[in-house]
Structure 1
């Protein structure tokens, strides 16, 4: 957080409830402050999310802007720790029927919550009344929110894995045009080597050590670029394309040779290396954009090039969900729909953090199109790839950890790609053979 951000954030912290791990759960898993029986009017909405840092500041500003419109309600935010703590507390509150009016959930998590009755579906007619329709969203992004024919989540954004590059280094290496037209792994490797000759250190920065999510994001991008499927159906063996997986892993392994890229770098080291101009390329999420901009680095960002024949990009989405309540107040529910609609319509502000707004009227606006480099990768939602649906998958889940346990040695260069992927699939099959716990 920058010094300029702190006073702004402090201003909002007094109006947002930050729940610590120890104090958040009480009374057998019920979060008391969110009980429908508490003294809250229909105009007092509770909204949980896991946005912190710069994202938290932007979200606070969006909610404040909606509250300032005096639309007959006021939303109070509760910010909880990212990852398992957040999703555990949300599940417990939903299971007790005493959840918040609105919550943020990663799209990759819907498969673990909707089947267990922890979420309530959105009313499409009521959404249309507040100006939110299926036609306002990219088809793949909208479809990710569907389960059993009903809509359980509404995307706020898409946040993909992209390729950043140092524009000065690219110009010196003579590869600027090449970066926008790469169509093979050989061509990418050649560009990376040319950039290494310019930097004298590495051509590419990519951090993955100890981070299964980072490993998965790059692997799955290249796996899906081969038009390879991965279906995880409970009670069945995982349906995978082993040849495509091995090919993707071997390519990543070839890049991590301590010349093109560090053999054993973590995320922080990779980002720092790129920010200090010690590399020409960086594989990273769009959420890295604010820190890269703050560094005043000459850079640009583009979708990861299609190196295996099929356009594909890994991403997730922050989505709005209606956690299950034992008794939902109709008036408060209508206000909740209004809150979501108003945030979506203002989501060009959210794009400042790097995310691609899901609400297409915003993406098509001149204000968004003027944002650089954000608008450079605005087409990714048309070919986005989310995690395979699984009750044990999604952001902050064990799914990515299981991938790391079996594949990290492959990335380090000491493991066999085929054996590593086989070990991961065996772990998936054990989970698929178990009943969903919720």
Structure 2
């Protein structure tokens, strides 16, 4: 005789009430930086109310949690930027990695080469992420050995933020009245001298203390000359003619008073917003902030413009990096969590335009070319940046390499170290890093 199967109490109650039991929530952990604003945006799901990197990613996460039909809850762990990668590495080493983590393109090789990340190409195809829509620089950022190792989220790069009124006052405008950008090192020096003579203001505001901004400008000029920091044989090239010319130009600009070596990040921004510099060298992430500031009645900057990095040599190029989303390998894989992770990644892919509101460039060609993108403030002024964006080769320990470059290059204008001596010291230190690093 067949035994009768007793229904669990919860299911029996659901049958009696004429309903079905709710799906158990699948929780996934998200590691990110971008600042902490969970209190400010608690329960906000209207993306129109989100401002800045932190606000937009927080509201995107809120919206996904509130609206997804699969019972998925994304639990955010916001980590302060300065210790983020140390914390992430500690979690990975302790075999408690997050389910998803934000990661810079420049850091990706450190994890991918150690087999700590899941390959994602087939998963992207399964959930409808069209990788053919990735702009080339974004696809390159996450590709290695014929596989995709992350979801690219943006391309961020150096721009020249421009006080157009100072350019008009200096007579540095074209026949349409637009700021005229230099096309060679010699022309840049002439423009800088003219700016100082006509307006009494320096041409540049550059974060110049312990900031990487001058190093990113230096790398840009190396690439524009057809050079590179590291050759295909993994040899440092800081003694090359391209490297020496790039540092010489930077050092000359500082020595001639066309940039203030005492500016830190906040000081350079304050000088630009205060109408005390014609060009601020900073990234895509500043666009919306400066556009909003220029509308404030107590801010001297009024006629704000943005320009792609001018090409001073024979090749278009500008320093860039990318924010990407990686999926760390789990000690005990969970199919439900894996499905939830991919569902959330698809949501982020679908909302790439929203992230582009930060000022960063979208990674999808269709979004980059869209009317919605062009309608965002100043975006039409720097769409070429997505095409000319350039990055260091995919090697390990790029943060260490950048630290060396910042220390040595910045010493030439901070303590008047001989440029050749600085490059020799950097060559030695970076060569030591490269000897223990691997290429992706």
TM-score (norm 1): 0.83
5+ residue gaps, structure 2, are: 1-22, 37-51, 295-300
Structure 1 Cα separation of the partners of residues 198 and 57 of structure 2 = 40
**How has the CA–CA distance of structure 1 residues 262 and 331 changed in structure 2, closer, same or farther, with 3 Å as cutoff?**
same
Residue 97 of structure 1 deviates from its aligned partner by: 3.3
Structure 1 Cα separation of the partners of residues 383 and 437 of structure 2 = 39
SS at match of 1:120: coil
**How has the CA–CA distance of structure 1 residues 292 and 197 changed in structure 2, closer, same or farther, with 3 Å as cutoff?**
farther
Structure 2 Cα separation of the partners of residues 341 and 324 of structure 1 = 19
- Identify the residue that residue 274 of structure 1 maps to in structure 2: 272
Residue 198 of structure 1 deviates from its aligned partner by: 4.3
Q: Is the 8 A contact 2:156 2:283 kept in 1?
A: yes
Structure 2 Cα separation of the partners of residues 165 and 103 of structure 1 = 34
Is structure 2 residue 156 aligned with structure 1 residue 173?
no
Give the 4+ runs in structure 1 shifted more than 6 A. none
Structure 2 Cα separation of the partners of residues 189 and 419 of structure 1 = 24
Matches within 5 A, 1:27-426: 43-52=26-35, 54-72=52-70, 73-83=72-82, 85-122=83-120, 124-177=121-174, 179-180=179-180, 182-211=182-211, 213-231=212-230, 237-239=235-237, 242-257=240-255, 259-296=257-294, 297=301, 298-393=303-398, 397-412=399-414, 414-426=416-428
Residue 345 of structure 1 deviates from its aligned partner by: 1.7
**How has the CA–CA distance of structure 1 residues 131 and 182 changed in structure 2, closer, same or farther, with 3 Å as cutoff?**
farther
Q: Is the 8 A contact 1:202 1:280 kept in 2?
A: yes
Q: Which has the larger radius of gyration?
A: 2
Q: Report which stretch shifted further, 86-95 or 275-284.
A: 86-95
5+ residue gaps, structure 1, are: 1-39
Q: Is the 8 A contact 1:238 1:428 kept in 2?
A: yes
**How has the CA–CA distance of structure 1 residues 371 and 198 changed in structure 2, closer, same or farther, with 3 Å as cutoff?**
farther
Q: Is the 8 A contact 1:253 1:412 kept in 2?
A: no
RMSD between aligned alpha carbons? 2.3
**How has the CA–CA distance of structure 1 residues 411 and 137 changed in structure 2, closer, same or farther, with 3 Å as cutoff?**
farther
Structure 2 Cα separation of the partners of residues 68 and 375 of structure 1 = 33
Q: Is the 8 A contact 2:167 2:173 kept in 1?
A: yes
Structure 2 Cα separation of the partners of residues 270 and 339 of structure 1 = 38
Residue 307 of structure 1 deviates from its aligned partner by: 0.2
Q: Is the 8 A contact 1:94 1:119 kept in 2?
A: no
SS at match of 1:216: helix
Structure 1 Cα separation of the partners of residues 170 and 411 of structure 2 = 32
Structure 1 Cα separation of the partners of residues 270 and 393 of structure 2 = 31
Q: Report which stretch shifted further, 404-413 or 331-340.
A: 404-413
**How has the CA–CA distance of structure 1 residues 304 and 339 changed in structure 2, closer, same or farther, with 3 Å as cutoff?**
same
Structure 2 Cα separation of the partners of residues 413 and 109 of structure 1 = 30
Q: Is the 8 A contact 2:141 2:322 kept in 1?
A: no
- The alignment of Structure 1 onto Structure 2 pairs a total of residues equal to 390
- Identify the residue that residue 3 of structure 1 maps to in structure 2: none
SS at match of 1:108: coil
Residue 110 of structure 1 deviates from its aligned partner by: 0.8
Structure 1 Cα separation of the partners of residues 256 and 33 of structure 2 = 36
Q: Is the 8 A contact 1:158 1:315 kept in 2?
A: yes
Residue 181 of structure 1 deviates from its aligned partner by: 5.1
For each residue in 1:346-398, what CA deviation from the matched residue of structure 2 results, as whole angstroms up to 9, or x when unmatched?
122222221111122222221111112123212222221123333211xxx33
Structure 2 Cα separation of the partners of residues 126 and 375 of structure 1 = 33
Residue 311 of structure 1 deviates from its aligned partner by: 0.3
**How has the CA–CA distance of structure 1 residues 434 and 238 changed in structure 2, closer, same or farther, with 3 Å as cutoff?**
same
For each residue in 1:81-138, what CA deviation from the matched residue of structure 2 results, as whole angstroms up to 9, or x when unmatched?
103x21112122223332111110001001111111222211x232123322221111
Q: Is the 8 A contact 2:408 2:426 kept in 1?
A: yes
Residue 400 of structure 1 deviates from its aligned partner by: 1.9
SS at match of 2:307: strand
SS at match of 2:81: coil
Structure 2 Cα separation of the partners of residues 291 and 198 of structure 1 = 28
- Identify the residue that residue 433 of structure 1 maps to in structure 2: 435
Structure 1 Cα separation of the partners of residues 355 and 166 of structure 2 = 30
Structure 1 Cα separation of the partners of residues 386 and 353 of structure 2 = 16
Q: Is the 8 A contact 1:50 1:79 kept in 2?
A: yes
TM-score (norm 2): 0.83
Residue 257 of structure 1 deviates from its aligned partner by: 2.9
Residue 159 of structure 1 deviates from its aligned partner by: 0.8
